[in-house]
Structure 1
Amino acid sequence: MDPETALELVKHGVTLLLLDVPQYTLVAVDTQMFSVGPAFKGIKMIPPGVHFVYYSSSSRDGKEFSSIIGFFIDAGPSEVIVRKWDQQEERLIKLSEEEEERYSQAVKNLEFDRQLGPYNLSHYEDWKQLSNFITKSVIERLEPIGGEITVECENEIVRNATKMPMEDALGKQLKVGNSATSVGKSQRKGCYYTSIPHVVKCKGISGQELTSLNLDKTQLLETLLAKDYGGSEDLLLGELQFAFVAFLMGQSLEAFLQWKSLVSLLFGCTEAPFRTRTHLFTKFIKVIYNQLKYGLQKDHMGETGSALLDDSWISADSFLHHLCKSTAGCQN
């Protein structure tokens, strides 16, 4: 890239300034992960828009890492986002408005330019395919109080829901409830996901009608779209993408359970894909295709530090396999 183009991207792109982050900490934006060195102060040339920032603190020798903490941002052109490392809490915190303004001006004066790692634009397309329905309104609607998404806050949320072997295995892999730091953080609430009933219950109808409602989730989908999403199909797809990103990159088990519930709901519809919601399902198939395509590519797992998706996700015992097998047109 020629210097003039690079300078324009620096000036008009988003900058993430991270102060006092300890060496060996893993810091990531979207699909790109950085290992903090002695001169690292953040990331520059980030395209304006929605992004997911996440990090994992390290032991002194860089061999052990804590649970990931992540948060979504929606940043405009030339915006500077400043966070500082709190050594006692081992996490990034916001600064006062006055301090943030001072550091933002220093960034715009290129005072930190040599200490900022560039966002790799060649990987931006992958991120857009994973997040094109995530908007500022989606983030504000779903993010937890304080904005931080971490499995350390999910002990109570997940404990009762973790029943199937896949969820149990994920819980162990993500060390739910095993970290010494979970005591203080577990009091904080997780994300504000939409409640998706697993079984449709309706008074005043016959057993045959109730069975029909549970075999075809179209009516449940219509009810949720009207009641919880204000009729917006894109808002539902935004939540699906939000949950997947929070799960795959933020290693949130709560997010996995929500993603699974939404996928199960959509795959459980028989009437909607072919008659009432064809456009929604055309978009949904593209969304889940891009999610699985990205998540199952092992080289991408290396970039994000995640190995949560493996061949077991498409094995005969996986919930995805059972969903596809029972869906019209998806049988082998």
Structure 2
Amino acid sequence: MASGSRVDMDPDVARKLFEEGATLVLLGVPQGTVFGIDYKSWKVGPRFRGVKMIPPGLHFLNYCSVNSPSCGGEVGPKTGLFLHLKPRDVLLANWDPKEEDLNFSASSNEEEVSRIRASLQDLDPYLGPYPYEVMRKWVSLSDRLREELAINLQPLSGRVRSYSDVVPETEFRHTKDRAEQPRNDTACQTMREGLDRLPKMKEREGTELRFSAIPEKTYPPGATPAQITQCSMDFTYALETLLDQNHRQDPLDLLGELQFAFVCFLIGNVYEAFEHWKRLLSLLCRAEAAMQKHKELYLGLIAVLYHQLGEIPPDFFVDIVSQNNFLTSTLQDFFQFASGPGVDGTLRKRAEKFKTHLTKKFNWDFDADLDECEPVVVDLPEGFTVA
């Protein structure tokens, strides 16, 4: 945190966090590094040694290395990782300047951790307090995300990176192999020719996010034309397949995966996660029969979306979400299905209330026919404003 930063906190909360909170001791983090935990980030000052008074539970640590001022002071891509902290935990990490990353191997050294724990009082002036003012917001974005689920979804490397770490699909270990590849010493006649000359790349093993595989087809093998048509309008078969293959023990874990993808995108800057979030949302919102079967899943979905959409900047919809009317058309289908006669009364009322909230907040009309390309707005009477 920047030197001189100050966080006001209720004295009773401060006392409890001081007694029960976990501590992250992060040594050697270069000054100017952009460091964040959960929903808040800072530029690291010269006295920074970590964060104290962290509420027990799941947290998303994220950071970006920064070039020295002599090299332009440019901020690098973001790296993040999910950590589950217990009461009074002390986690120790050292900055690796070569990898520009935190190395937590020291946390497995009990003797070193004991030494750090014994010197916490001396370290206290160099530890920034957890930003308590964002705790409620963070919990609302991650309350369905269990520790085990987060571990299973994040890359095997343990790092969620905003860029893809790619390597060639084929390694050319010998001169003969490289000689057989298309030569680049002549001008390309077309863009396609240029692209074909580039080596085929793939994500480095262990660095890819491990999301649930969404079925490519929404209908079962051997389906009749009538079944294909039905399953193309109602995605229940595809949703049930995903739940059976990935969240059989607890279908509500799908909401945790939705939160994981949203956090990775909104805080971790991973665009791939946004694409997965969109696909999951489309699957859930267009599964008409599933709404009648999975009441708790859909009540939870409304709560998750309520908090997620409350955190997205207003102009985000113009730039990304409104593209091809994804969100408005998807939610229109959801509200239409949720008002059906076979849907539980509580879910139907909750969906109607959510629909009213979104209409007021974003000026959308979910009852109108959506234009193919333009976002839909409600025509308000003259002088009428929406808070």
TM-score normalised by structure 2 residue count:
0.70
| Partner residue, 2:312 | 295
d(CA) in 2 for partners of 1:131, 1:205: 38
Quick check: which has more Rg, 1 or 2?
Answer: 2
Report SS of the residue matched to 2:59.
Answer: strand
Please report how far the alpha carbon of residue 232 of structure 1 lies from its aligned counterpart in structure 2 after TM superposition.
1.1
**Which amino acid counterpart does residue 76 of structure 1 have in structure 2?**
K
What is the letter of the counterpart of residue 41 of structure 1? R
CA distance in 2, matches of 1:291, 1:226: 26
Cα distance in 2 between the residues matched to 1:79 and 1:2: 22
> Take 2:13 and 2:307, find their aligned partners in 1: how far apart are those partners?
30
| Correspondence for 1:251 | 269
Residue matched to 1:87: 97
Q: Is the 8 A contact 1:153 1:188 kept in 2?
A: no
Query: Which one of 65, 69, 92 corresponds to residue 75 of structure 2?
Result: 65
Instruction: Report the counterpart of residue 121 of structure 1 in structure 2.
Output: 132
> What is aligned with 2:176?
none
For 1:186-206, what per-residue CA distance to the aligned partner results, in whole angstroms no more than 9, with x for missing partners?
454312110012432433221
The partner residue of 1:323 within 306, 322, 330 is 330
Structure 1 position 228, deviation (Å):
1.5
Aligned to 1:206: 224
CA distance in 2, matches of 1:98, 1:286: 38
2-structure distance, mates of 1:184, 1:210: 33
- Work out which of the residue numbers 138, 141, 145 in structure 2 matches 1:134: 145
CA contact (8 A) 2:25 2:93 kept: yes
Match of 2:42 in 1: 34
Deviations 1:237-282 (A, max 9, x none): 1111111111111111221222111111111212222x11122111
Letter matched to residue 308 of structure 2: Q
Aligned-residue offset at 1:139:
1.5
Structure 1 pair 46–297 and aligned structure 2 pair: CA distance change class (3 A):
farther
Aligned residues of 1:82 and 1:104 also touching (Cα < 8 A): no
- Per the normalisation by structure 1, the TM-score is 0.81
Letter in 2 for 1:258: H
Q: How many residues align?
A: 295
Deviation for aligned residue 1:99: 4.5
Q: Which residue of 2 aligns with 1:271?
A: 289
What percentage of aligned pairs have identical amino acids? 33
Give me the whole-angstrom Cα distance separating, in 2, the residues matched to 1:131 and 1:37.
29
SS of equivalent residue, structure 1 residue 320: helix
Q: Is the 8 A contact 1:217 1:269 kept in 2?
A: yes
Q: Secondary structure at the match of 1:72?
A: strand
State the distance in 2 between where 1:313 and 1:210 align: 31
| Cα contact 1:107–1:113 (8 A) shared by 2 | no
- Cα offset for 1:113? 0.6
Match of 2:245 in 1: 227
Task: Work out the CA distance in 2 between the residues paired with 1:102 and 1:5.
Answer: 29
Classify the secondary structure of the residue corresponding to 2:252: helix
Q: What RMSD, in angstroms, separates the aligned Cα atoms of the two structures? A: 2.6
Distance 1:100 1:31, change over 3 A: farther
Q: Determine if contact 1:315/1:321 at 8 Å carries over to the other structure.
A: yes
Aligned residue among 290, 294, 297 for 1:280: 297
Q: Following the alignment from structure 1 to structure 2, what is the Cα–Cα distance between the partners of residues 325 and 310?
A: 16
* Aligned mates of 1:149, 1:111 — CA distance in 2: 33
How far is 1:234 from its partner? Answer: 2.0
Indicate conservation of the 8 Å contact 1:324/1:331, yes or no. no
String of CA shifts for 1:91-134, please: whole Å, max 9, x gaps. Answer: 11123356464245424542211001111212111000000011
Do the aligned partners of 1:57 and 1:66 also contact (CA within 8 Å) in 2? yes
- Superimposed CA distance per residue, residues 108-163 of structure 1 (whole angstroms, 9 cap, x where no aligned partner): 5422110011112121110000000111111221121121010333558xxxxxxx
Moved more, 107-116 or 68-77: 107-116
Q: More relative contact order in 1 or in 2 (CA 8 Å, sep 6+)? A: 1
In 2, Cα distance between equivalents of 1:129 and 1:8: 21
Map of 1:242 onto structure 2 = 260
Using the TM superposition, give the Cα deviation of residue 56 of structure 1 relative to its aligned residue in structure 2, in angstroms.
0.4
CA–CA separation in structure 1 for the residues paired with 2:320 and 2:259: 18
Query: CA 1:287/1:210 → structure 2, altered by over 3 Å: closer, same or farther?
Result: same
Q: Which runs of 5+ in 2 are unaligned?
A: 1-8, 168-200, 337-365, 369-387
> In structure 2, do the counterparts of structure 1 residues 314 and 149 end up closer, same or farther at CA, with 3 Å as the change threshold?
closer
Deviation at 1:288, TM superposition (A): 1.3
For structure 1, the 5+ residue unaligned runs are 157-182, 299-308
- TM superposition shift of 1:292: 1.3
Matches within 5 A, 1:148-227: 148-153=159-164, 155=166, 186=204, 188-227=206-245
